[in-house]
Structure 1
């Protein structure tokens, strides 16, 4: 039997558009000989649909759309389709809906199973919306019995995980006692650096354990800050990958369960290659799905804005990226020159809007109020807020989306100005530490074969240039020191004592954790970041603003 894996890139809530895309993919799969098709978890409405699931009318619309799809498949003599969608809870107790897998066959909508293991962490908030199911399901078609699992239902194999498991039960082990010939997982797994290796190793383990072919259909595309990497996959009963769909793109993958083919080598892209692909997809989809076609960003001559500009050009094309130079009296001539050189290398248009006249106007207006007080961070922040105002004005006037250029290190430390350089619709590199930003820029230049991002930008000490001779390290620890502490605390969840035990200087740790805590109010008002790490600010980091955590 041949199965078409439909790796879709849906838009949250767009039931009509998503259904049309899925039906088009079924037609594509049918033309290559597919007997049946499968699509990812919540493929109908996009993962995650969030509070759309609390709307009764939305759930009703999902049901009507599924019925219309089933009738279209029947009328066009197309293969049946197994896909993820919200389904009604048939009993009056508990939450009103399940995260379901439905089989569209013979003009009917057949609920095959309801997701059993419901996560409640990061972007995966199933417990907020869904009632858990009791067991995995089974599709019987053309003499095959295929066990069906959804998302985390396949993530709890006690023979794979050592130590603490997230859930007590293993729905797959229970389902496979029924004598399944194959195992299907409908997934919607967001991209994380290094996450593909663990995911495939775990799926391969299940294929070997039960000696059946295993197919995983995964979502592709950007959903706000989340990026889904695709790479839907098929395993032989011996745990070898025999087919893999495209990375970070829609695809239709045809798999023959009888003749699965020879094992294929696992792709070995660098972390930087995956990060670049993820971020460009995240930009492209966020801009497109929000109804924009072009972007604007400030070009300071620094590393962060240079990298964001390069990413935006790869995502949208140079004709859809506008760079804005916003020099002040403290901006060096080198910064202006290198920003212009970057723009020329990338092929993007620029505007230059000097902010000194606006600075003088504000200083004059504040002079009687600030009389007798020394210049301090107030005047520094004023420059950033003027720049933010100019950039937002250009966004409003010309219909460009404003991209934020802050990195994770700065966001963590609050080293940004609220309503200034923190403004923007999307924090493109908001989940990359400063050291990762430099590494990605070097990789990009190497891939280009020349210094498309001028080497001077990479080599110069980071500076906001808000007053004479300013350097980031005047206010922060060196980034190679800071980023290791932040990674160990945020991603690895080490507290003060453990951070010191692994070798970080206690005084630097104490100051870093203090700055991280008091900057929470800024992060709550910042734009969504494109997520690539295990724990991104926003969906992966939920801290109180008024908080005094024990060390």
Structure 2
């Protein structure tokens, strides 16, 4: 028997469009690959995560209509994920749909509902408590959904019910090293049950989540038998063959990308899908001559193509000649639209309006922020006029400590680097140059000391600790939930640690007003880390 994994990119809320994607994939898998069974990701009819769309009164009716439409149009059995209300309760379902059926006659209800980090499934679903076996080609197959495979119970129950093979459908979001953890968990269930497992995952970007695909299959001994591709749609054939004991899986094994490659591909996919699925014509950004905007521009071009990306240099009197040269050079290297808009007259006009209210008050960060806000106004005006999305360029290190200007460089629709620490910005820039075989991001941009250039001879390190130290402390405090005292016990200077965690804590209000951006680390700001803006928590605790 041949099972084909349909690793597809579904659009949240587009039930009709997703139904057509299912039909097209089934027919392609049947015609080109000889599929006997096609399997699709978790909640593929709604897309994942559908969030409060699940509460819409018409959702269940739309799902039932879509299932009937699919069954009337396909010529091969399929397993797919969808929400369903049964006996007054909503479940996260994996159902077997055979050609010609009005609706699935066999449905499995997800038993383990994740309710941590980016997951909120107990808000919407009831838990199932029974295994479900389906019979295809004379084979008894146990169905499971995503989180089920991270626990021993559902797989063991399917084995005890007589399963010869397990299928696990997923919407498992990307983060660094996530694929290794998936393989480890799935292989453990295979060894425990002595059953092979086919793992189907979603691919695509959805707001701050990125789904990397990477569907695979393991044999009963836990060894990987089939490995699909990453960050793109694919039909992955898995051949199920009789073996001395049970069944054995066979198929192609593609390479698994390393950390740098996978993070970069995740940023590209997230940016492309956010812009495409939300109907923007392209992207534009302020190109400062610094490394953050340089990497953001590179990602945008890889996501959309140079003809749909525009860069704007907005110099002020503190902008160095080096920045002007490097921004122009990168724009030329990439072939994007490029223009220079001076902001001197705009800043002077605002300062003239504010002359009286500012009278007698010393100059401070206010004047610096005014420059950034003038740039934000220009970018948003261009966005309104052209229909292109403004990409902001703040990295995770800056977002964490509030080293950014509200309504200035934070003004925009999508922050490509929001979950990328500054040290990783350098690593990804080097990676992209190596991949290109040339310094497509100018060497001087990577090597020069970073600066916001809002004041004479300004350097980031005048206001922030060294980025290597800052990122290490942030990883412990933000991603691993160390307390300030625990970070200090790990060997870091007390005054520096308290300075950093206080900046993180007091800038929650800024982060709540920042654009969304793709999650690539263990814990990102947004769905993943939600702290109250107003609180009296002591940072040492």
> Quick one: which of 420, 424, 447 aligns to 2:412?
424
Q: CA deviation at 1:220?
A: 0.5
CA contact (8 A) 2:239 2:251 kept: no
Q: CA deviation at 1:231?
A: 1.1
Tell me which residue corresponds to 1:109: 103
CA separation of 1:35/1:155 partners in 2, compared to 1, >3 Å: closer, same or farther? same
Tell me which residue corresponds to 2:48: 47
Q: CA deviation at 1:108?
A: 3.3
Runs of 4+ residues deviating >2 angstroms:
259-270
CA contact (8 A) 1:112 1:138 kept: no
TM-score (structure 1 length as normaliser): 0.94
CA distance in 1, matches of 2:82, 2:107: 11
CA contact (8 A) 2:226 2:253 kept: no
CA distance in 1, matches of 2:145, 2:178: 18
Query: Residue 56 of structure 1: SS of its match in structure 2?
Result: coil
CA distance in 2, matches of 1:137, 1:264: 28
Tell me which residue corresponds to 1:164: none
TM-score (structure 2 length as normaliser): 0.96
> Quick one: which of 57, 61, 80 aligns to 1:83?
80
**Structure 1, residues 299-324: CA drift from partner, whole Å, max 9, x if none?**
00001000000011111111111000
CA contact (8 A) 1:329 1:356 kept: yes
Query: Residue 168 of structure 2: SS of its match in structure 1?
Result: strand
Tell me which residue corresponds to 1:413: 401
User: What is the count of residue pairs matched by the alignment?
Assistant: 531
Q: CA deviation at 1:239?
A: 1.7
Tell me which residue corresponds to 2:459: 471
1:204-219 to 2 correspondences below 5 Å: 204-219=187-202
Tell me which residue corresponds to 1:250: 233
Query: Residue 354 of structure 2: SS of its match in structure 1?
Result: helix
Tell me which residue corresponds to 1:144: 139
CA distance in 2, matches of 1:442, 1:385: 30
1:38-437 to 2 correspondences below 5 Å: 38-73=39-74, 78-90=75-87, 92=88, 96-105=89-98, 106-110=100-104, 111-157=106-152, 170-258=153-241, 267-437=255-425
Q: CA deviation at 1:8?
A: 1.1
Tell me which residue corresponds to 2:495: 507
Tell me which residue corresponds to 2:470: 482
CA separation of 1:205/1:523 partners in 2, compared to 1, >3 Å: closer, same or farther? same
CA distance in 2, matches of 1:237, 1:71: 35
Q: CA deviation at 1:252?
A: 0.9
CA distance in 2, matches of 1:373, 1:136: 71
**Structure 1, residues 110-132: CA drift from partner, whole Å, max 9, x if none?**
24211111111222211111111
Task: Give the CA RMSD over aligned residues.
Answer: 1.3
CA distance in 2, matches of 1:136, 1:428: 41
CA contact (8 A) 1:115 1:136 kept: no
Query: Residue 370 of structure 1: SS of its match in structure 2?
Result: coil
Tell me which residue corresponds to 2:17: 17
Query: Residue 139 of structure 1: SS of its match in structure 2?
Result: strand
CA distance in 1, matches of 2:140, 2:253: 28
Q: CA deviation at 1:548?
A: 2.4
